Structure 1
Amino acid sequence: MAKTTPMRLLELMVLKDDIDSVLTYLGKLGDFQFQQDFNDSAAEEKKQNADADIFARLQSARSFLNIKDLDHFTEAVSLPTEEDRSEAVRIYTAAEDLHNREIECGENVKRVSSSYKEAASFSNLKVPYSQLESLSFLTLRIGRIEEGAYDSLASSFGSNAILTTLGNDKTKILAASSKKGRFFMDSELKKAGFVEINLPKDFKGVPDELLGALEGEVNSVKKELEEIQEQRKNFAETHKDMLLHLLQVFSVSSQLNSVKNKLESTDFVYRITGWIPAWESRTLIRTLDDLTKGRAGIREFLPNEVRSVLEGREKVPVQLKHGSLIKSFQRLIFSYGSPLYGTVDPTPFVAVFFTVLFGIMFGDAGQGLVFFILGILMTLNKMKLAGWEKFGRIFICIGVSSMIMGLLTGEFFASEEVLKPFNRFVHSLFGVTDYEKASEPILKLMPSGTDPGSVLRMFIFFGFTIAVGFIINTCGIIINIVNQFSLHHTGRALFGKTGITGALFFWYVIIFAVLTAAGIHQPAPYDFIIIAVTLFFTAFGEVFERLVEGERPVFENGLFSAIIGAVVEVIEIISSYLSNTVSFVRVGAFALAHAVLGSIIETMMNQVPAAAGKIGVLIAGNAIVIVLEGMIVAIQVVRLQYYEFFSKFFSETGREFKPFAFVYNCQGQ
């Protein structure tokens, strides 16, 4: 059986001048996992990562310029040059300046527009001017200023207040500002020698000069805002490629600096320790030696030479190496837990069992074809399904298995008519010449009142699914036995529910029951002796484990406690093996349910008179089955893998191999 990838621990002593090139190489390689626990590094928090700050400012600039972000590197991984650093500062500074100007101008548009709208709403009202001071937004001042002070006053007001003349000599003015800006306005008016005019109590309305000035100010600031937005658009078009390039190189450098800040170091040397697959160790050592021109010190250790591993303080990371097809099933393993280092790699078993179980429960050639096509499109990146693209090969596998099962059950998009020629062809190979019988499906699941043998066939099919469960349980037990021997746990391999004694008990009981039920074997005394002996060693498995592995005392908590534990263990062994086996009846039940749903869709379709209606029922019914039942069947397959297969050998989980690699938009945090 294939086992987890052999690993090696490397210790690197790298000069400060070489650390960037070494870390860049390791990040590009993507197959080196640091041994240091970076998650608890307090030292890194005290060190600044200037490139991470630059990256963040570039990202803010990209967002402001409405440039779509990347989701992966589109160019070769590299560090920023001095020219890149200068360009980065220039671009994010210019973008920030544009951003600030746009914000300020936008606020001016809001302020001036609000002033104009409020003043305009009172332009036709004939109310005393004294009452206008009660306006919630606007503050008005009418009076005289010193001769020649108008231009300097208008300049000092800027966009904070509105100033308009009430005559031709520019000494009589009307000033307006927001309530918040009245203190500034009054202060500037005072400098211009402002003397308020006492208007008559019956003075009414808002002067046209004020409305005209406000309207002109609104148009002016709106035009200024449009010009800034046009500048932003042009800036984005001319700097897009450079900005995306800078984001990539500073993403790399920020991650590199983050790692570098966490490494052990002196004023001249960095120390790096990490795990790498054994097959890649020699190449990495040669490359680093060339990269540093022989200046790096490199030592290599086997896992059994690492003190932290021997003392149980560290687990060797686990890598599962497969081709693209089997690799797509790896996440099912790691979502449950990582195997221990040096144990059997269960991924090929999971790939086979998942594919077979799904196909049995979801047997329809047409619906399977849909999964198959979806898988092909996802694998070729022709279809995006919210991150499901990585499961494209799984869709291909379950599509093929569903099509094979559909050919056996004679279903094609819930119809048995389409595959009748195929059924006749297959039956003819076995000498069936009767047209009606030859047209029937090769494997008919639906029981029929007119066919007395259909119920028997259904129960035989249930027996077949239990046999599949027996094979899966057996594989799980064998994997556990091999694992325990590999880990030098001889006692666990020999005794216990998932050890050799438990396996012998399970196998013998199943074979004995099947042969007896079939009338091939008559129960004999030796049958019960074998069953009793294997059950005894299994029930007292913990005691015999301690005996074989030299642990003392053998009865850790006394003889009476061991007996009570054995009795409970017998109940648990029998109930668990029974439930683990019978649980696979659900596979047959779901296969039957799928056939029933297909029959319902076909019946509903036949009851609709119009051809368009038939097509509608066919499409809607199959779509519901593909989506809903597809999800339910997938969940059931995962459940059977987790509880009936993984539980046999996943008594302790390992540590997944997570190598250091540069990832775009990740700053190593």
Structure 2
Amino acid sequence: MFKTTKMKLIELMILRQDIDRVLEYLGKTANFQIQNETELPADSAHNPHRAMFDQLQSCRSFLKLPDVSSWSDDSSLPGDSDYASAQDILAAVEDMRRRENEAGDRQKRIRSAWDEAKAFANLKVAYSELEHLTFLSMRIGKIDPSIFEELRFSVGDRAVIVSLGADNSRILAAASKKGRFALDSELKKFGFIALEVPKDFKGVPDDVLEGLQKQSEEADRELADLSAQRDRYADAHAEQLRRLLESFSLGAQVSRIRESLEATQLVYRIMGWIAASDCSQVMRDLDNLTEGRIAIRTYEPGEVPSVKNGHEKVPVQYRHNAFVKSFERMIFSYGAPLYGTVDPTPVVAFFFTLLFGIMFGDVGQGLVFFLIGLLMISKKAKVLKNWNNFGPIFVAIGCSSMVMGLLTGEFFANSEVLRPFSRFVTGLFGEPRDHILHMMPSKDSLGKLIVFFGFTVAVGFIINSVGLIINIVNQFSLGKPAHAVFSKTGVCGAFFFWYVASFVIRVLLGGVGFSWFDIVGIAIPLIGIFFAEPFTRLFEGHRPVFENGLFSAVIEGIVEILEVVSTYISNSVSFLRVGAFALSHAVLSFIIFTMSDLVGGSLSAGGIAIGIFGNAIIIILEGLIVAIQVIRLQYYEFFSKFFTETGREFKPFRFKYTD
């Protein structure tokens, strides 16, 4: 078992001229958690780096360039040359934006005029002549084209609605003189906007239409040319803009952190936690960076007053290989362990992989998980980029599923493909069989299934026991020997659990029944648990021993005993679900295999379709359910043994690209 990484508190006294470079170094190395940080000020005009970053982001958006997705190694704080380059880009983009806006407005005016002209091109009679008709009342104007048909339906036979253009946006409405008020009311409901038409207007000459069309085409070409210029500028300056965005983003964050630190007119003070193994290197780097203009002092956790009096918890960090590290989020999502306690991550990694494989045994389906894991690790699939850290987990559960699949003889829910392998292996130890481990219920396999369920309970016993041992070690490490001995998850609880388990095994194997020494073996740990609170106060020197009186202590003891018995029974029985899910997986695979046979076999078109669909359902839905069940077993049966108090996760100061 490994413990949490040893930490140290560092105090840095930095001159104003060096503070930005020191913060840049700390943010890039990402191994220093700032301790004396005050509330960060909001970004404002006092942060010119942030203002410039926002303007550059606007330029990037205008140039239609993708945003920065990851930091490059050459990113650094912005200097005078960077500001000059940024100003050049801002000026160029602003000029392009202005010219495009002007061209766009010009195009809209010309297109609107052309649309108006086309709408009235077929009006060859003077409007005044139409208006003087004694039996007709006419209106010319604009409406929303999408409601043209609805307007025609609404007015019905009371008026005639004629489209003046191809897009139905301009209409001529005619009704009898008596019906003009009803027509006006109906047009108003549909948002009709009347157009002023000169009395002598007779339509639009063809040469005017051709001229407007030509101007519209020229405006389109002008906009296209400007768009091409923008694309060429974007291609030529993409790399420079990316570098500037990174630089000013970094500068904005350094400015924000700097403003949150304690400072005098000349000196800044930074305090923070760092892994003890990194301490010497960081001190050397900072000394070289500032050319000796820095004062550094280190403290052990026990020397920090706030830690000694319990007001502050030392942050917890782990150092793992890639496989174990991928399980860290499972630990911290439940809670951070206390500093100086046992690191449970390797245990979680092992048992998660084991339990998943037991419940999800199939060589083909496990191979899918394995390949997905390799794809995540390679970081080549963009759709999985947010899951790349979990690649080792998928590789591990894929391997465990394939191993279990070899035992059960399943390959993509087909129980015949691996039959030669199973007969070969079983033949080495006796009579050849179709399956090394037959999971489908039958008269012949019932006894083996009972043994298998017993095996899952035994795995649960081991997991529970490891959790108890971790808690006992943790309590002794934290200087709480009384809690380590008398608590329900301490020595007394563990001894009771182990003794009862050994007693049950002895009875099942046909050994000696209940005897007087069993009473002693069970009673002694229960007495310790019954009086856990008084014993703890006695050994820790607290008085009175019975803080709330003897009667209250007895009631608390009874409750503790009932809780211990019920908890250990439920913790053990809970692992039967491992066997139940393994059995349900086998049954689902059998159903898919049977359905394939009913439609012509696994190699027929119908069989292939059922095989693909069925395996996809199992991989996605059952895989998700099994993962949830394994996490549940870890949380409730394992973590609950030693997560009696949560600590504080180590969160180092690091730069994060902001948009």
Normalised-by-shorter TM-score class = 0.7 to 0.9
Describe the superposition over 1:162-185 as per-residue Cα deviations: whole angstroms up to 9, x where unpaired. Answer: xxxxxxxxxxxxxxxxxxxxxxxx
Could you tell which deviates more after superposition, 544-553 or 568-577? 544-553
Kindly provide the amino acid, as one letter, of the partner of residue 427 in structure 1: T
User: Is 1:421–1:439's contact at 8 Å kept on the other side of the alignment?
Assistant: no
For 1:16, give the aligned amino acid.
Answer: R
Distance 2:100 2:86 in 1: 21
Residue among 250, 254, 257 paired with 1:256: 254
- Structure 2 residue identity aligned to 1:71: S
For residues 57 and 47 of structure 1, the distance between their equivalents in structure 2, rounded to whole angstroms, comes to: 13
Residue 207 of structure 1 deviates from its aligned partner by 5.8
Provide closer, same or farther for how the CA distance between residues 474 and 104 of structure 1 changes in structure 2, counting only shifts above 3 A. farther
Q: How does 1:284-295 map to 2 (within 5 A)?
A: 284-295=282-293
Secondary structure of the corresponding residue to residue 75 of structure 1: coil
The reply to whether residue 543 of structure 1 matches residue 537 of structure 2 is: no
CA offsets 1:58-78 (integer angstroms, 9 cap, x no match): 111111111122211233232
Distance 1:399 1:624, change over 3 A: same
Residue 3 of structure 2 aligns to a residue whose secondary structure is coil
Shift in Å, 1:543: 2.4
Q: 1:445 aligns with which of 439, 444, 447?
A: 439
Q: Which is further off, 521-530 or 332-341? A: 521-530
Which consecutive unaligned segments of at least 5 residues does structure 2 have? 132-137, 144-196
Does residue 86 (structure 1) correspond to residue 84 (structure 2)? The answer is yes
Cα distance in 2 for partners of 1:516, 1:338 equals 41
Deviation, 1:200, is 8.8
CA distance in 2 between partners of 1:443 and 1:540 (Å): 47
Question: How much has 1:239 moved relative to structure 2?
Answer: 0.9
C-alpha change, 1:368 and 1:564, in structure 2 (3 Å) is same
Question: Distance between the aligned counterparts of 1:205 and 1:220, measured in 2?
Answer: 24
Q: Counterpart in 1 of 2:301?
A: 303
1:59 to 1:420, Cα distance in 2 relative to 1, 3 A: same
**Are 1:479 and 2:470 matched, yes or no?**
yes
Aligned to 2:521: 530
Confirm or deny: 8 A CA contact 2:463 2:638 kept in the other structure.
yes
Letter in 1 for 2:36: Q
Counterpart position of 2:11: 11
After TM superposition, give the deviation of residue 639 of structure 1 in Å. 0.8
When residues 118 and 580 of structure 1 are mapped into structure 2, their CA distance, relative to the original with a 3 A threshold, is same
Residue 575 of structure 1 pairs with residue 566 of structure 2: yes
User: One-letter code of the match for 2:408?
Assistant: T
Does structure 1 residue 423 correspond to structure 2 residue 422?
yes
Letter matched to residue 370 of structure 2:
F
- Per the alignment, residue 398 of structure 1 pairs with 397
Counterpart of 2:653, as a letter, is: F
The one-character-per-residue Cα deviations of 1:122-177 (angstroms, maximum 9, x if unpaired) are 2322352698997569xxxxxxxxxxxxxxxxxxxxxxxxxxxxxxxxxxxxxxxx
Task: Answer whether contact 2:126 2:199 (CA < 8 A) is retained.
Answer: no
Letter in 2 for 1:445: M
Per the alignment, residue 450 of structure 2 pairs with 459
After superposition, the C-alpha distances for 1:195-222 in whole angstroms (9 at most, x for unaligned) are xxxx995554356676566445434433
Deviation sequence 1:321-376 (CA, Å, 0-9, x none): 11111111111111111111111111000000100000000011221122112212
Match of 2:658 in 1: 666
| CA root-mean-square deviation | 2.3
- 1:47 to partner: Cα distance: 7.1
Task: State which drifts further: 554-563 or 22-31.
Answer: 554-563
- Cα distance change of structure 1 residues 45 and 64 upon mapping to structure 2, 3 Å threshold: closer
Deviations 1:438-482 (A, max 9, x none): 132111121214x2xx11111111111011111111111111111
- Say if 1:496 and 1:539, in contact at 8 Å, map to a contact too: no
Q: Of 493, 498, 503, which aligns to 1:507?
A: 498
Alignment partners' CA distance in 2, 1:129 and 1:289: 92
1:493 aligns with 2:491: no
Counterpart CA distance in 1 for 2:380 and 2:222 is 45
Structure 1 residues 235 and 656, CA, compared in 2 at 3 Å: closer, same or farther?
Answer: same
Count of residues in Structure 1 that have an aligned counterpart in Structure 2 = 595
Q: CA deviation at 1:319?
A: 0.4
Kindly indicate whether the alpha-carbon contact (under 8 Å) linking 2:487 and 2:529 is maintained by their aligned counterparts in 1. yes
How far apart are residue 110 of structure 1 and its match? 2.7
Q: Is the deviation greater in 572-581 or in 221-230?
A: 221-230
Deviates more, 1:88-97 or 1:296-305: 88-97
2:600 aligned counterpart, secondary structure: coil
Q: C-alpha offsets along residues 477-522 of structure 1, whole Å, 9 cap, x if unaligned? A: 1111111111112221111211111111111111112211221232
Decide which of 572, 585, 602 is 2:576's aligned counterpart: 585
Q: Which runs of 5+ in 1 are unaligned?
A: 138-198
3-state SS of 1:448 partner: coil
Structure 2 SS opposite 1:300: strand
SS in 1 for 2:423: helix
CA distance in 2, matches of 1:115, 1:556: 93
* 1:296 CA displacement: 0.2
Aligned to 2:243: 245
Residues 1:646 and 2:639 are matched in the alignment: yes
> 1:566 aligned to 547, 557, 562, which one?
557
Answer with 380-389 or 594-603: which moved more: 380-389
Q: Quickly say closer, same or farther: Cα 1:560–1:112, change in 2 above 3 A.
A: farther
- Which range is displaced more, 218-227 or 305-314? 218-227
**Residue pair 1:309, 1:315 contacting (<8 A) in 2 also:** yes
SS in 2 for 1:662: coil
TM-score between the two structures when normalised by the length of structure 2: 0.86
1:143 matched residue in structure 2? none
Residue deviations 1:220-258 (CA, integer Å, cap 9, x gap):
433332222122111111111111121122222222222
> What does residue 166 of structure 1 align with?
none
The alpha-carbon distance between structure 1 residues 651 and 129, as it changes in their structure 2 partners (threshold 3 A), is: farther
CA contact (8 A) 2:362 2:401 kept: yes
Conserved in 1, the CA contact under 8 Å of 2:40 and 2:256? no
Cα distance in 2 between the residues matched to 1:60 and 1:362:
50
